[in-house]
Structure 1
Amino acid sequence: MLYLDSAATTPVRPEVLEAMLPFLTDRFGNPSSHHTVGEQAAAALDDARRRVATVLGFRPGDVVFTSGGTEADNLAIKGIAVAALVNDAKRHVVTTPIEHESILASVDYLQRVHGFDVTLVPVDGDGLVDPAEVAASVRDDTALISIGYANNEVGTVQDAAGLAAVAHEHRVPLHLDAVQAAGWLPLSGLGADALSIAGHKLGAPQGTGALAVRGRVPVEPLLHGGGQERGRRSGTENVAGAVALATALELAEREREADGARIGALRDAFIGGVLAAVPAARLTGHPVRRLPGTASFTFAGTSGEAVLLELERRGVVSSSGSACAAGSDEPSHVLLAMGIEPEVAQTAVRFTFGHGADVPPEALAAAVAASVAAVGG
């Protein structure tokens, strides 16, 4: 089987499993306990926090460990926006219509429960948002700008520096959802005030993640109780998960440039092969500003689900888009926002290569062509 759905999740790396295993067995302490076993756990947690902060370009005290990217996004959006509402009566949030469901559902919550106004800045046909249009949407009562660094469905990479310049000029916190970008793109020095990542995209277990948020930015916690994570996320910390996340993030960062260049070349050869072999194929997302491991297409006149099933029969596992929207019969909101017709958006197939992927792009493109032909495209 050839697994090409790494944007959904990745296997745990052996080095990560080895690093976290002691904290699931003999070094099992609660980091809040004031005895030797607890202090061992606390030291490991502090070390993991420092390592994550180094890669992200934040201070160790800025890092909040979470249960994954969805929680990190929720804490960033709800936490920062509600704090701004309470402290400064700000009630406006800026984002785009192509964001991950965890962001769009969070801003919907702010609208329904707290009466926020939400501006969805449009994107172009490649999925890019113009920082100038973001700037034009900012108001005196804007509490937060939240935008994905790289899109989870089509892989388009946004102008992080341009967005940060807008946010700084208007003195509005910028949150970048870096869940898909981590391991593929630079994370340090982006100018963001908050950055969210998920471990299972990097070779750490599912259920691990972090939000880095500058100390100057007030955050209202979503979870209350024992005051862990400097009061921003109560609950006994997942020490093994934090160690795993730190290890996976460091490994991915160390390999990022070399592996990204190699995977990007493989992806480009695969894209060229598909477009040459399948007349109905249309590449979605920006042709250049895209994640190294992402190739996404529509195949007009087919059923995307039928193509996926035929590919799996041939030993290739891929997806139609976000795993968080799996089971929905609706066309992708990302593709619709990019101006793709609903009936064409229903034919989407996404291929995402993981670190270390080594597949012959010609053979893979031939498998795609044969699968599309088999279902009538």
Structure 2
Amino acid sequence: MRPNAVEAMLPYLADEFANPSGAHRMARRSRCAVDDAREVVADALGFGPHGVVFTSGGTEADNLAVRGVTEATGTVALCPATEHHAVLHPVAASGGRTVAVDSDGVVDLDHLAAQLDAGAGAPVGLVSVMLVNNESGVVADLDAVADVVRERAPDALLHTDAVQGVNWTDVAAATAPADLVSLSGHKFGGPKGVGVLAMRDSTRIAAQMLGGGQEAERRSGTHNTAGIVAFGSALAELSATREGDVARIAVERDRLADGLTGRIEGCRLSVDPKRLATVRPGAGGNGAGGNGAGGNGAGAGRAAGLCQLLIEGIETEALLVLLDRCDVMASAAASCASGAMEPSHVLAAMGCDRATAAGSLRLSLGWCTQPWEVDRALEAIPECVSRLR
């Protein structure tokens, strides 16, 4: 966690422990702290404060978006096949469908249009496209997606899981076309167990957590005041430092990727870096697009903090064991997939065969990553691959 976020939350774990839903003086102080954090989130995302709903994390926020909209409107949802399971599973539960992506994980806009045009069954009420893929690091062009949705299904809402994207994009600009946006605090130096679903003021959802009616009847449950305060503190710090952090981390990520692909035979990135340029906040555009993918997803790009490699002749599970012993913490696919070593559904959707996907390695960098850590990875990973071969 960011030190400032830890410091901000400590009083609300001790003396300021009152329930923000109460009416007495201490409760009012807690409620003011929650509302101050709500204002920070609203400013960072470009939403109204009333549209900010605090949740237990990104998974709950995604479920509230997908299930909340489809249940409120009697519709189904669409999403790319590369989405996080927190979106894929509720989309499937709604009776929805997936949209194809190309070999770099860019949304196939023609297939999206065809799925929106499909007349069988309930109408499409929501399209969910994550801002930054949590495995490949591909940054979606939400403007292009929104254009298709508005043309083919003008009543449908657009949701984006920006849990990974908040670090690496000008998130307010990048998510401007979206009606609903999900965040999770632990991805940017806040605490685990706190998330947000932000929605435009006119958005109607069916609550999934019923009880005391908190969050304007949209998400019942006693507020995690300490976590919410820390979430706001971390997001405020991120907003102030993002541009410089992205510039620094992009250099380290490229040094890591170039070093590993150069030193390990049969090692390549899962996406084409010549096609998908690194997104740099403040560089103009909508805050998300790279140098263009041509045709479908012409504004797509690549996030600075993610490096997904495909390594021939190894199995990632064995590699991760060796790397852990070398103090290099990596993963095969999504690190929130309960530790299960299953083939990456993201790589499968991108057309990667099972044998190649078995050698996938995901390395994540963040605001606290230091050059010596990259040096250590550049030393340890080739050595461990060589031992396995």
Alignment TM-score, normalising by the size of structure 2: 0.88
- C-alpha contact (below 8 Å) 2:42/2:52 kept by paired residues: yes
Q: Secondary structure at the match of 2:368?
A: coil
- 1:148-297 equivalences in 2 (<5 Å): 148-169=130-151, 170-171=153-154, 172-189=156-173, 190-287=176-273, 288=277, 289-297=301-309
Q: Secondary structure at the match of 1:223?
A: coil
Work out the CA distance in 2 between the residues paired with 1:363 and 1:206.
27
Query: Shift of residue 103 of structure 1?
Result: 0.7
Q: Deviations over 1:133-190 (max 9, x none)?
A: 3233214711100111111111111112212223333322000000011122111132
Q: Deviations over 1:2-23 (max 9, x none)?
A: xxxxxxxxxx111001111111
- 1:28-107 equivalences in 2 (<5 Å): 28-85=17-74, 91-107=75-91
Q: Deviations over 1:321-349 (max 9, x none)?
A: 11222443431111111111101111111
Work out the CA distance in 2 between the residues paired with 1:185 and 1:193.
18
Query: Shift of residue 351 of structure 1?
Result: 0.5
Identity of aligned residues (%): 40
- C-alpha contact (below 8 Å) 1:80/1:143 kept by paired residues: yes
Q: Secondary structure at the match of 1:94?
A: strand
- C-alpha contact (below 8 Å) 2:328/2:376 kept by paired residues: no
Residue 120 of structure 1 aligns with which residue?
A: 98
- 1:128-147 equivalences in 2 (<5 Å): 128-139=106-117, 141-147=123-129
Q: Secondary structure at the match of 1:120?
A: strand
- C-alpha contact (below 8 Å) 2:76/2:91 kept by paired residues: no
Q: Deviations over 1:241-278 (max 9, x none)?
A: 11111111111121111110110011111111111111
Work out the CA distance in 2 between the residues paired with 1:369 and 1:272.
12
Give 1:257's aligned amino acid: E
- C-alpha contact (below 8 Å) 1:259/1:356 kept by paired residues: no
Query: Shift of residue 76 of structure 1?
Result: 0.4
- C-alpha contact (below 8 Å) 2:317/2:341 kept by paired residues: no
Structure 1 stretches of at least 4 aligned residues deviating more than 4 Å after TM superposition: 360-363
Residue 385 of structure 2 aligns with which residue?
A: 372
- C-alpha contact (below 8 Å) 1:296/1:350 kept by paired residues: yes
Work out the CA distance in 2 between the residues paired with 1:21 and 1:257.
28
Residue 113 of structure 1 aligns with which residue?
A: none
Give 2:366's aligned amino acid: G
Give 1:313's aligned amino acid: R
Q: Secondary structure at the match of 2:269?
A: strand
Give 2:163's aligned amino acid: V
Work out the CA distance in 2 between the residues paired with 1:224 and 1:188.
30
Instruction: Give unmatched runs, 5+ long, in structure 2.
Output: 278-300
Report how many aligned residue pairs link the two structures.
Answer: 354
Give 2:314's aligned amino acid: T
Q: Deviations over 1:14-67 (max 9, x none)?
A: 100111111111111111111101111111111111111110110000000000
Work out the CA distance in 2 between the residues paired with 1:156 and 1:286.
10
Work out the CA distance in 1 between the residues paired with 2:20 and 2:338.
37
The one of 368, 381, 385 equivalent to 1:356 is: 368
Give 2:347's aligned amino acid: L
Give 1:57's aligned amino acid: G
Query: Shift of residue 92 of structure 1?
Result: 2.7
Of structures 1 and 2, the one scoring higher in RCO (CA 8 A, sep 6+) is: 1
Give 2:308's aligned amino acid: S
Give 2:303's aligned amino acid: L
Q: Secondary structure at the match of 2:363?
A: strand
- Stretch moving more, 47-56 or 180-189: 180-189
Give 2:307's aligned amino acid: A
Work out the CA distance in 1 between the residues paired with 2:17 and 2:68.
30
Q: Secondary structure at the match of 1:295?
A: strand
Q: Deviations over 1:185-217 (max 9, x none)?
A: 111132110000000111111101100011211
Q: Secondary structure at the match of 1:64?
A: strand
- Stretch moving more, 276-285 or 362-371: 362-371
1:310 equivalent to 2:322? Answer yes
- 1:5-44 equivalences in 2 (<5 Å): 12-44=1-33
- Stretch moving more, 166-175 or 39-48: 166-175
Q: Secondary structure at the match of 1:247?
A: helix
- C-alpha contact (below 8 Å) 2:37/2:229 kept by paired residues: yes
